[in-house]
Amino acid sequence: MMEETELCFPQLNTSCRRIQRPHFETMLIYVLLSCIAVPTVILNMLVIISISHFRKLHTPTNLLLLSLAVSDLFVGIFLLFLIVLIDGCWYLGDLMCILYQYSTYIIASASTGNMVIISIDRYVAICYPMHYSSKITQKRMKICVCVCWICSLIFHSLILMDNLKQPGRYNSCIGECVFVVNYIAGYADLTFSFIVPIGVIIVLYLRVFVVAVSQARAMRSHITATNLKHSVTAKKSELKAARTLGVVVVVFLLCLCPYYCVALSGQDSSLNSSLAFVTCLYAFNSCLNPIIYAFFYPWFRKSIQLIVTLQILKPDSCDINMM
């Protein structure tokens, strides 16, 4: 009888066994995941509502923040699934298992793609400020965001093709949720979801940093326009946006890199705890982004106040000047 209770599906002899943990450890995991997942969902919902509702916030850069908030929202929702998986049993069937894994791949890739577009946006804004309004429009930004998500979807459809064709083919018992990626697909995913995007982000933001510093010094020194005929000084608002989004990008890299470093080292038993930690760190980044916005962006703090007090339900509230 005791052996049956250790099975995910006690009525099936081919069922997987539950992971047995001390009660304290189980409760600690529940609390940790809940403390990350719930704020992540709530805060990113506030970002989505803010940017979607208030017309003054419909800028190309904010469209990127909206796309990033959508991916971060799904990260929070997927974390809630991990709470269900705390005993190592998957009760939703093989199809839902592969869809869950497939979705996590797409969300992670789309988040990285959004960071690349954010870096490009800031690069153009700081290095070519006179051309920014003509090159970076809302329509073009919407197209870029859509292309980012579509490419992520198509790319990971190819990466996980075998798993999608036959869900559950790699499961060794009932109640298991396993997916396998071959070496070629794994290296392709590593290259296009991590190495190339991170390289682009670092190169672009190093360039942005150098130009932004020189322009900030120029503004502080009150150098006249005649002495800067070969360069154009970006507006203070653009420099502030570059700083804020720079913080977002740096935090993203700090949370992402440990995950890939541990994943590349292998997934044997000695690394299980490390893999769990860096996975939580990676997910925690989705909770940190709205906090960064609240710290640096007055419009986000103002929009939260309007949402919480239900003033957004008033007629014409979408036309409130948030900037």
Q: For the segment 82-95, what is each residue's pLDDT rounded down to a tens digit?
A: 777 777 788 888 88
| Whether 306 contacts 320, CB under 8 Å | yes
238 vs 12: which has the higher pLDDT:
12
Q: Between 214 and 70, whose confidence is greater?
A: 70
- Inside any domain, residue 15: no
Predicted local confidence at residue 219, as pLDDT: 62
The CATH number assigned to the domain holding 234 equals 1.20.1070.10
Residue 17: inside a domain: no
Mean pLDDT of 299-309: 89
- Please provide the size of the chain in residues: 323
**Phi and psi torsions of 7, nearest 5°:** -90, 150
Confidence of residue 213 (pLDDT cuts 50, 70, 90): confident
pLDDT value at residue 227: 46
Looking at residue 55, the DSSP 8-state letter turns out to be G
3-state secondary structure of 17: strand
**Which amino acid is present at 245?**
L
DSSP string, 134-158: HHS-HHHHHHHHHHHHHHHHHHHHH
pLDDT for 7? 82
Provide the pLDDT confidence category of residue 66 given band limits of 50, 70 and 90.
very high
Percent of the chain with pLDDT over 90: 15
Asked if residue 130 is part of any domain, the answer here is yes
- The rounded mean pLDDT for the chain is 80
Res 5: pLDDT: 56
237 pLDDT tier (thresholds 50, 70, 90): low
Highest mean pLDDT among 63-72, 93-102, 291-300: 63-72
Tokens (6 digits) for 306: 């309007």
Please state the φ and ψ torsions of residue 151, each to the nearest 5 degrees.
Answer: -65, -40
Q: Domain count of the chain? A: 1
Specify the DSSP class assigned to residue 322. -
For residue 14, tell me if it sits in a domain.
Answer: no
Short-list 303, 248, 299, 296, CA closest to 118: 248
* pLDDT grade for 2, boundaries at 50, 70 and 90: very low
The shares of helix, strand and coil residues in the chain, as percent rounded to the nearest 5, are 80, 0, 20
Residue 281 falls inside a structural domain: yes
At a CB cut-off of 8 Å and minimum separation 6, what does 85 contact? Answer: 177
d(CA 45, CA 241): 21
8 in a domain, yes or no? Answer: no
Of 235, 238, 236, nearest to 246 (Cα)? 238
| pLDDT at residue 3, as a whole number | 45
Say if 151 falls within a structural domain: yes
Distance CA 301, CA 306 (A): 9
**Alpha-carbon gap, residue 252 to 321, rounded angstroms:** 30
pLDDT in tens, 114-138: 989 988 988 888 888 888 888 889 9
Alpha-carbon gap, residue 27 to 14, rounded angstroms: 28
At 113, is the secondary structure helix, strand, or coil? Answer: helix
Judged by DSSP in three states, 167 sits in coil
Closest CA to 96 of 168, 14, 203, 35: 168
pLDDT of residue 269: 39
Provide the residue type at 94 as one letter. D
Of 81 and 41, the structure prediction assigns the larger pLDDT to 41
pLDDT band at 265 (very low <50, low <70, confident <90, very high): low
pLDDT of 240 strictly over 60 = yes
C-alpha 181/C-alpha 168 separation (Å) is: 13
How far apart are alpha carbons 43 and 286 in whole angstroms?
9
Domain that holds residue 254: 22-319
Residue 4 lies in a domain: no
How much is the pLDDT for 230?
Answer: 41
Q: Which residue has the tokens 């940093």?
A: 209
Tokens matching residue 86 = 């705390």
Q: Are 281 and 258 in contact (CB under 8 A)?
A: yes
Give the helix ranges, DSSP H, for 85-137.
93-127, 129-135
